[in-house]
Amino acid sequence: MRRLLVVAAVVFAGGCMEVEQASSPAKQAGQTVKRDANPWSNEPLAMGPKWNKGDRTSWEEQIKKRQLEQHEHQRIYQ
């Protein structure tokens, strides 16, 4: 789903380790960029990884699990 505005609070909550950058003149002038929906807000594909729609934690869990496919040890020493 398309969201035009996402409040800064969500960003801060999401990227707690990250610096929220606000150095550009446009940003300082209060302009807000169009933003994306969060990936976990989508319905999983019929043939693909599964998580509970809208549940960030379950999405992240499956993403981290899938990520281990990039580590051949996962498959070799299963």
Partner 1 sequence: MARMKFLCDAERCIECNGCVTACKNENEVPWGVNRRRVVTINDGVIGAEKSISVACMHCSDAPCMAVCPVDCFYKTADGVVLHDKDLCIGCGYCFYACPFGAPQFPQAGAFGLRGKMDKCTFCAGGPEVDKSEAEFKKYGRNRLAEGKLPACAEMCSTKALLGGDGDVIADIYRERVARRGSKGAEAWGWGSAYGQPPKGAQGAAPAGGKS
Partner 2 sequence: MLLTRKANESLADQRTAAVQHGRLAQGLSSVLGKTIDRRAFLKRSGITAGAGAVLATSVAQLPFSMIGTAEAAKEQAGGKIEVKRTICTHCSVGCAIDAVVQDGVWIRQEPVFDSPINLGAHCAKGASIREHGITHDSHRLKYPMKLEGGKWKKISWDTAYDEISKKLIEIRNDKEKGGPDALFVVGSSKHNNEQSYLLRKWVSLWGTNNCDHQARICHSTTVAGVAQTWGYGAMTNSYNDEQNSKSLFFLGSNAAEAHPVSMLHTLHAKENGCKVIVADPRYTRTAAKADIYVRFRSGTDVPMLFGILHHIFKNGWEDKQYIHNRVYGMEEVKKEVMAKWTPDKVTEATGCSEAEIFNVAKTLAENRPGFIIWAMGQTQHTNANAIVRASNILMLALGNVGRSGGGCNIYRGHDNVQGATDIGPNPDTLPGYYPVAVPGSWAHWSRVWNVDPKWIAERYAPGMQAKPGMTVSRWIDGVTEKNDVIDQGPNLRAIFFWGHAPNSQSRGADMVEAMKKLDLMVVLDPYPSASAAMFAMVRKDGAYLLPVATQLETEGSATCSNRSVQWREKVIDPLFESRTDHMIMYQLAQKLGFADQLVGKKDGKQNIKLVKGKGGEEPSMEDTLREINRGAWTIGYTGQSPERIQAHMRNMHLFDVKTLRAKGGKDAKTGYDLTGDYYGLPWPCYGTPALKHPGSPNLYDTSKHVMDGGGNFRALFGVERDGVNLLAEDGSHPKGAEITTGHPQFDHVLLKKLGWWDDLTDAEKVEAEGKTWATDLSGGIQRVALKHGCHPFGNAKARAIVWNFPDAIPQHREPLYSPRPDMVEKYPTHDDVKTLWRLPTLFKSVQQSAVKEEMHKKFPLILTSGRLVEYEGGGEETRSNPWLAELQQDNFVEINPKTAADRGIRNGEYVWVSTPAKNVDGKHVRLKVKAQVTERVGPDTCFIPFHFSGWWQGQDMLASYPDGAAPIVRGEAVNTATTYGYDRVTMMQETKTTLCQVAKFQA
* H or E element at residue 38: none
For residue 72, give both structure tokens: 């051949």
26's contact among partner 2, partner 1, none, with CB below 5 to 8 A by partner kind, is partner 1
What x/- string results for residues 2 through 41 when contact with partner 1 is judged by CB under 8 A? x-------xx-xxxxxxxxx-xxxxx---x-xxxxxxx-x
**How many angstroms separate the CA atoms of 18 and 2, rounded?**
23
* Shortest Cβ 17–partner 1 spacing (Å): 6
Q: Which parts of this chain interact with partner 2 (CB under 8 A)?
A: 46-47, 69, 72, 75-76
* 44 within 8 A of 53, measured Cβ to Cβ: yes
33's contact among partner 2, partner 1, none, with CB below 5 to 8 A by partner kind, is partner 1
